[in-house]
Structure 1
Amino acid sequence: MTPQRTRRTFDTTFKRQVIKMIKDQGIPVSQVCRDLNLVDSAVRRWLAQHEGECNGKLTGAMPLTPEQQRIRQLERENQRLKGDVELLKKAFGFLRPGYEVIQTLITHMREKAAIARLCPLLGISRSGFYAARSRLSRPRIVSMQETQLQAAFADSAQTYGSRRLSKAMQARGFAMGRYRTRTLMRRLELRARWSRKFRHTTDSRHDLPVADNVLNRHFNPDAINKAWVSDITYIRTASGWLYLAAVLDLHSRKVVGWSMSPSMPADLVCSALQMAITLRQPPKGLIVHSDRGSQYASAAHSELLRRNHCIASMSRKGNCWDTTVMERFLLNLKMERVWRRQYANHTEAIADIADYIVNFYNARRLHSALGYRSPVEYEQAST
């Protein structure tokens, strides 16, 4: 039985030496195979490959000549560089730089590379680059839309986003949709910015009687003075905390009563409710909803409701969604006014908050729930 031959591997240096023995020294292939214990077919395959490479013919095998080895190395480097370029292009597209950023980059790099080379690399046309550069060199004309948009934004105390600003512009006679408004806001750098701060004001740990949830989240009554909602919030001043109690009509979202005090006694919520009753003169059966705070469960507040034939309603325990409309008003108050101010004392805060309620929130602020009308305008249209 013929013993199995062990498969051997040979590097390119050994193969070149074998080829040199045959070509340069004239040793026959058969003798080289006997002396080096090689297979005849393998040696002849090396010779054919070497001859082909010398004539410029590329094969899939490992190159034997130094020239072809260098070519193979350059091909690998070229392939790797192409892959790197594709990765960078994808990353550049993922970052989504604006056209002005690309324009600036090309202008900065044109001393190191031709514009005709940079434009395709960055995914824009050369004609587009020159057209954009020409536009940027011309003085920009401020349109009437931009002027009115800045005025509307300032009129909102810099609080409106694109939705409300588009409605405000339509009220000024400009047919502008939300996306056009958003584009102009970005161009003019108009941004509504807020921060959030919280302080717990509800104390429901008491033994006072609690009313049922009569309102049951029916936040859209069909007329005014059918359902009110009330709550307390806090205002930070340099002289200490100031507490605000407010009453809001759910039909028109109008703030109908409010009161402010450095503390949170029951008199605070009673004063706000008494103001609303005096101004609105509601009919019997009005639902007045609140949370379970001790101020709203107090005997003084309950007596005020009974005396004016109002129905008390309170949220379920730990459920802030039962007063979500009032919570939204208080958040708007803080985002649009309080968090933009630094009140030196209580007097300054009381005057500014009253101005916000009377002159902005009730009179001018556009509400999406009211078809982008103010509470005063909505009530006038309803009567």
Structure 2
Amino acid sequence: MYAYKEKLKAINLYFKYESYAAVINELGYPSRLALRNWVEEHKRFGDVKKNITRRAKYTEQQKQTAVDHYLEYGKCYARTIRMLGYPSRALLTNWVMELAPQPRKFKRNGINLTTGEKEAAALALLTRNTSAQEVANNFGVSREALYQYKDQLLGKDVSSNKVKKSHDTDVNQLQDQVKQLREEIYYLQMQKEILEKAGEMIKKDHGIILEKLTNQEKTRLIDAFRPKYKLSQLLAFIDIPKSSYCYHKKQLALPDKYNDVREQIIGIFKEGKRRYGYRRIHASLKNIGIILSEKIVRRIMREENLVAKSIKMRKYNSYDGEISPAVPNVLERDFKADKINAKWLTDITEFRIPSGKVYLSPMIDCFDGALVSWTMSTTPDAELVNTMLDQAMQTLQAREKPVVHTDRGAHYRWPGWIDRMDSHNLIRSMSKKGCSPDNAACEGFFGRLKNEFFYGESWLGVSLETFIDQLDDYLVWYNHERIKLSLGGISIVKHRKTLSCVA
């Protein structure tokens, strides 16, 4: 039933297009016959009839009473209509569908089921858990027809017992699969929790490999999950014999005899700002009277995850071509010196931070690795190296004429550098072109410097001036406080004092 406005809209479009098809394509309604009738009616009477809304014949209370009676007294339409005297069967059916929608029994009188419906009915008959009559009622057919479908499609030899047995087999297989999947989920959940807990307890940065854990670490890991998982499952998953687990469990229950030393090792590591490995920490302990093997120190550091900074490659290159003739390599990679101020090494290294670049030019004494002098600047110019050389030469005694070894960088081939060297009778020595091992001792210092001071730190928001101040503090600390194993585990300045070389 179309509204009055919808009819007028269709009629007006027809008068505009003069085509029934065009109107129906645009509006999607009505049928061609209905539109033609509307147009004819409009031509004859100048308008079309308006829809008449009839007042409801039955109240909502009457509808609800009829539906309640139907549901309460056997769901029989005829009885409800006979007892109440209203409504029609069709109207009562609509009320039931509206107010009490639910599955209803139905019959198909003279209507044949499709092949698919027959197959479904036959399968339901053979796999039923109820009576055959209930299955027939659900499909709206008689009990006899249901068995006929089974005989036609599956044959008379197929009984419900055989189908049920096959059905039970399928169910058992599915149950086995569900059980297997649950076991896999349980195993994966245990694996996930163990790996996460191992990461928290052992605190390794590059992931956890259970096979590489020590038996003591595995024992601690198992104890963390004993309340939740069985011991046999944990031993098998973490791969540790039960005897080893029991042994380390007893060992862990004993007091930690290295507890005090452990705290001192952590303190030394933090004071050194993560720059000391186990050898220097072992030497530091020895200096304060604590005798402990390097193996124990290394083990405690591993347990506490005390890892020194790693070395990275240098990038700055000061080579700028053959500006002046190169001098021979006097040192020939012999960086050992029998006295102070006999062999000096120098080079330039670059520090790149978000604020910019800083360049360092130090002078290193081969005798004990002391920093004779150093300068820092934001540009690697001649003033950087010349000022450093002037400061270094001020520390020399009258008869001291050290060999100054450099690479073939442009700074050491400019006239300013050469004039200063000649005026103080210092001996120049240069590495071969592109051969960094010829100045390996200086390169080694730069590696230690960046490993201990630069790498692994966040320099975001640090100005160049602040960075230069911090670098200068490190270089002072390097001379006065940093211990060297080659000097017997003491600092450079302290070593020189023992030799009466520093007042």
Q: Is the 8 A contact 2:483 2:490 kept in 1?
A: yes
Find the structure with the greater CA-based Rg: 2
Residue in structure 2 matching 1:100, options 196, 204, 217: 217
Counterparts of 2:426 and 2:241, CA distance in 1? 69
Name 2:294's counterpart in structure 1.
178
Residue in structure 1 matching 2:468, options 338, 341, 350: 350
Verify: 1:145 aligned to 2:261, yes or no. yes
Counterparts of 2:492 and 2:230, CA distance in 1? 61
Q: Gaps (5+ residues) in structure 1?
A: 1-91
Instruction: Specify the code of the residue in structure 2 equivalent to 1:273.
Output: L
The residue matched to 2:387 in structure 1 has which SS? helix
Name 2:491's counterpart in structure 1.
374
Name 1:338's counterpart in structure 2.
454
Residues 180 and 317 (structure 1 numbering): CA distance in 2 closer, same or farther, change over 3 Å?
same
Residues 101 and 229 (structure 1 numbering): CA distance in 2 closer, same or farther, change over 3 Å?
same
Deviations, residues 317-356 of structure 1 (Å, cap 9, x unaligned):
2211111111111111111012225172221121111111
Residue in structure 1 matching 2:359, options 243, 252, 277: 243
Which range moved further: 102-111 or 278-287?
102-111
Counterparts of 2:252 and 2:239, CA distance in 1? 19
Counterparts of 2:224 and 2:355, CA distance in 1? 55
What TM-score do you get using the length of structure 2 for normalisation?
A: 0.52
- Paired residues in the alignment total 290
The residue matched to 1:276 in structure 2 has which SS? helix
Which range moved further: 235-244 or 371-380?
371-380
Verify: 1:198 aligned to 2:314, yes or no. yes
Deviation at 1:285, TM superposition (A): 2.6
Counterparts of 1:285 and 1:114, CA distance in 2? 73
Instruction: Specify the code of the residue in structure 2 equivalent to 1:349.
Output: F
Counterparts of 2:428 and 2:219, CA distance in 1? 63
Instruction: Specify the code of the residue in structure 2 equivalent to 1:199.
Output: K
Name 1:211's counterpart in structure 2.
327
Deviation at 1:183, TM superposition (A): 1.3
Residues 248 and 149 (structure 1 numbering): CA distance in 2 closer, same or farther, change over 3 Å?
same
Deviation at 1:380, TM superposition (A): 2.0
The residue matched to 1:337 in structure 2 has which SS? helix
Percent identical residues: 26
Q: Is the 8 A contact 1:228 1:286 kept in 2?
A: yes
Counterparts of 1:230 and 1:117, CA distance in 2? 58
What are the within-5 Å matches in structure 2 for residues 39-50 of structure 1? none
Counterparts of 1:222 and 1:113, CA distance in 2? 67
Deviations, residues 83-127 of structure 1 (Å, cap 9, x unaligned):
xxxxxxxxx9965553332453477478775659958x955345x
Residue in structure 1 matching 2:416, options 288, 297, 300: 300
Deviations, residues 249-271 of structure 1 (Å, cap 9, x unaligned):
11021001111111111111111
Instruction: Specify the code of the residue in structure 2 equivalent to 1:356.
Output: Y
Counterparts of 1:168 and 1:327, CA distance in 2? 25
Which range moved further: 160-169 or 94-103?
94-103
Counterparts of 2:258 and 2:400, CA distance in 1? 56
Q: Which has the higher contact order (CA 8 A, sep 6+)?
A: 1
Q: CA RMSD in A?
A: 3.1
Which range moved further: 209-218 or 279-288?
279-288
Counterparts of 2:239 and 2:481, CA distance in 1? 47
Counterparts of 2:491 and 2:431, CA distance in 1? 27
Instruction: Specify the code of the residue in structure 2 equivalent to 1:373.
Output: I
